[in-house]
Amino acid sequence: MRLRRLCVFCGSKVGMDPRYRAAAVELGQLLAREGTGLVYGGGSIGLMGVLADAMLADGGEVIGVIPDSLATKELLHSGVTKMHVVASMHARKALMADLSDAFVAMPGGFGTFEEFFEVVTWSQLKLHRKLTGLLNVGGYYDPLLRLVDHAVQEGFIQPKHRNLLVIEERPEVLLSRLAAETIVHDPK
């Protein structure tokens, strides 16, 4: 399946490891080259800004979605293809989901985690049939994945729902898997 648009959740900081920035640039370049649009949080700073700038530099479509309350705090990116300023975080996530064919989380903090796990939960509940990927740059998500695996072992997450996560360290491999895989929901 060709992805028309990919929603990427990522940090409003660049983090300590230079590989995070490099992965954001690589992902942006790959998306632009493949003609896949980017839907993201609308900021001009951190990994969000790096990713958007890499896409724009290569002529890619970049759609930002930012709540009015964060438009100045996160320094709204004024150079994107289209910017949606919405009333709330809930409206932001709903619109991002509507505009996207799949979701990826890059390194980030609480906001990235929350946004990503919300779309994973929506998939688990069969509210959408879109893939969810983790770009596990430099093993950033390894501790989180150990927690998820622990939750599976303790009976809080079903193994089939653990398999909703497409996990790769390299942007190119992750994009390839997202384009090739589909979600299979078992009937209840």
Class (C level, CATH) for 5-180: alpha beta
> 173 by DSSP, 3-state: which?
helix
Query: Which residues are CB-contacts of 2 (< 8 A; sequence separation ≥ 6)?
Result: 36, 179
Residue listed under structure tokens 């896949």:
36
Inter-residue contact 36 to 81 (CB < 8 Å) = no
Inter-residue contact 99 to 7 (CB < 8 Å) = yes
Inter-residue contact 58 to 33 (CB < 8 Å) = yes
* CA triple 2-38-127, angle to 5 deg: 70
What is the structure's pLDDT at 38?
98
The mean of the pLDDT values for the chain is 94
The domain locations on the chain are 5-180
> 22 by DSSP, 3-state: which?
helix
Specify the pTM.
Answer: 0.94
Each residue of 53-107: pLDDT tens digit? 999 999 999 999 999 988 876 689 999 999 999 999 999 999 999 999 999 999 9
Each residue of 147-159: pLDDT tens digit? 999 999 999 999 9
Averaged pLDDT for residues 37-51: 97
What is the structure's pLDDT at 184?
60
| Residue in 91, 101, 89, 90 with CA at minimum distance from that of residue 61 | 101
Averaged pLDDT for residues 34-60: 97
What is the structure's pLDDT at 70?
87
